[in-house]
Chains A and B, each alone.
Chain A
Amino acid sequence: MIAALALVILAALLVFLGTRVPGLAAPTDGALQRLVIGALAGMVLFHLLATVLDLTGLGWSVLKLGAGLLILLALFLRFGAKTPEGERRRLPSDLGWGDETALLAVVVFSLVALTLWVTTPDFVFHWGLKGHRYFLARGVDYAYLARSWGWAIHPDYPQLLPELYAASALAIGRFDPPLLMLWSAFFFALLLAAAREILRTAEPFVRQAGIALLAVVLAAFAVRHQMAGGADWLPALALIAAIPALSRPPDPAADLQIGVAAAFAAAAKVEGVVLAGLLVLAQLARRPAAGSWFAPGRFFRLGLLPALVILPWGLQVRRYHLFTVLSSGGLSWERAKIAGPAVVDAVNSPGWHGFSWVLLLLPLLALRRRSRPLGFVLAGQLAFYLWIYLVAAFDTEYYVAMSFPRLLFHLVPAMLVGLVPHLTWEPPCRPSTITVEGRMGGSL
């Protein structure tokens, strides 16, 4: 019980820290969006702190990590802008049966995850192993990753998730796999909170049915496909957390939110680096609500955090020769003939219960100006996955079957949420959103 409490305190500290980042919250953001994007910012800052401690050779301890986080928090509280009193209480007051169903789905998934039966094999093969190893080494153990047999643990993968596991173990005092599964439940809850925020302007039935649908679909897949303990929650969360900012005309807060989501995705997985690039590109391609299109401030807010995440990662991968080269055989028609049916089989994967076919409706996102940026990012990420299958010189059928159902998990939540408002949509009621409606979208 005390161990679980330590984990909760760590997560709460990261959320609290992130929500205090100056300039991150827009006046139009509800409490849930602030919480979600704040949580992502807190985890990105934690990752940067852990990286600094690594690069300086100081290593990790509860004291060093705790002091670092508290110093950052003190700085934000001292120098950050104060949140106006009236904007602190925009928690949803219209909770209904859909929210209760979603909460129940999170609880069900959490309880099943605690048994470790739905723990992803990748927790054993690399995410959990790395977390345990870093806990013992008090830092990212590059010598361990660089062993000639280290290819088996994907040594070039970004480190956020193992870092969270190691920090949890430091806080608890031991490596405790069942408790670490609660991180997946936390990501699931954040994902649903982000979706709830996006659906807030939909009519009541669509709002409630939409959040309930997303929750049960993801929980069913996560249980069937053993998603507990894995990192695929993180790109899915980054994408869905970026939707509010992608759906309104770019303003400084939206740019920073996209920067946070992109940095979070890049810190999570290699494919998250691609997602980060797409998010930044989608935002940069749109004309801002005010000010110059290519003002230095925009680049700073959009690019600083992703750069701070990607550059040290790239440098360490290069320094320790960790990059496991993708065995590329070039585009091949023969491979495409195998990949096509394999992709269809993967979309039909039993865990999805047919819901992954929702991606066929991706062109619908182009119909509305506000959903075009999301459509661009989803299409780009999907194209990247398919392209990899067409060039990777592996057993294509096996490769697609082993990875694509799981990679769909990055895309389906955002697609479902992006689509539900197309069923019915009430016009946003906030004047600030309406007045600039005509300028959103830019070149996308």
Chain B
Amino acid sequence: MRKLILGFALAWGVFALLRETTEALVEVDAREEDQASVPYWHLGTPQVKRLDRCLELVRRQVPPGHVVVFASPDDARTGDQHEFFRWRWAAYLLPQYDVAPLQGPDTGRLAEYLITYHRDIENPRLEAMAELPDCRLYRVRKTVP
């Protein structure tokens, strides 16, 4: 009886592994068509690649070690946290910089550069440096000219 229980559990476990692996591999094959929202992004998906292409502006124009503020669209609904997760992905993709959120207690004081992603920001302290269709890079002046 005890062997039967163990055997049944093992068969169920093998079935579980086969099912999960198959589903994962199907999703890997469809990775290029992935349309998941920000909290469910995976490494290597088109959404991440688009963000990475935008952040290339920073890598080309800003020396490592500086504070770069990342700004993306506000959440459509409270609690979505899409803006938060876009910021975290930007930080992962730019490890050589201190990537700050737009709404932070020290952001205004410490900001040296600003990269916007699908978002427009107007501020007299901003000096445009470079742009791509979806994003713009600015130098942040310490004072208003």
Chain A residues in the interface with B (C-beta under 8 A): 101, 105, 108, 112, 115-119, 121, 124-125, 128-129, 132-133, 136, 144, 147-149, 152-153, 175, 177, 205-206, 209-210, 212-213, 216-217, 219-220, 223-224, 351, 353-355, 420, 423-424
Contacts and interface: CB of A to CB of B under 8 A. Distances in A.
B56 to A, nearest CB: 17
A124 B24 contact: no
Interface in B60-95: 64, 84, 87-89, 91-92, 95
Interface residues of B, number: 41
A116 B7 contact: no
Contact of B16 (A101, A108, A353): A353
B20 A149 contact: no
Contacts of A118: 24
Interface of B is mostly: helix
B105 interface: yes
A413 to B, nearest CB: 13
B16 A217 contact: yes
A343 B27 CA distance: 28
A128 B19 CA distance: 28
14 contacts: A116-B42, A132-B92, A147-B106, A148-B105, A149-B106, A152-B91, A152-B101, A153-B91, A206-B3, A206-B6, A213-B9, A220-B21, A354-B12, A424-B2
A148 B96 CA distance: 17
A119 B42 contact: yes
Contacts of A223: 17, 20-21, 24
Contact of B17 (A105, A121, A205, A209): A105
B124 interface: no
B101 A124 contact: no
Contacts of A175: 95
Contact of A117 (B42, B64, B104): B42
B44 A353 contact: no
Contact of A125 (B6, B21, B92, B95): B92
A216 B89 contact: no
A423 B5 contact: yes
Contacts of A105: 17
Interface of A is mostly: helix
A177 B23 CA distance: 22
B6 A112 contact: no
A128 B92 contact: yes
Contacts of B105: 148
A149 B95 contact: no
B13 A213 contact: yes
A216 B14 CA distance: 6
A149 B104 contact: yes
A56 to B, nearest CB: 23
Give the 9 A-B residue pairs with the shortest CB-CB distance, closest first.
A216-B13, A132-B95, A353-B16, A220-B16, A220-B17, A116-B43, A216-B17, A223-B20, A148-B106
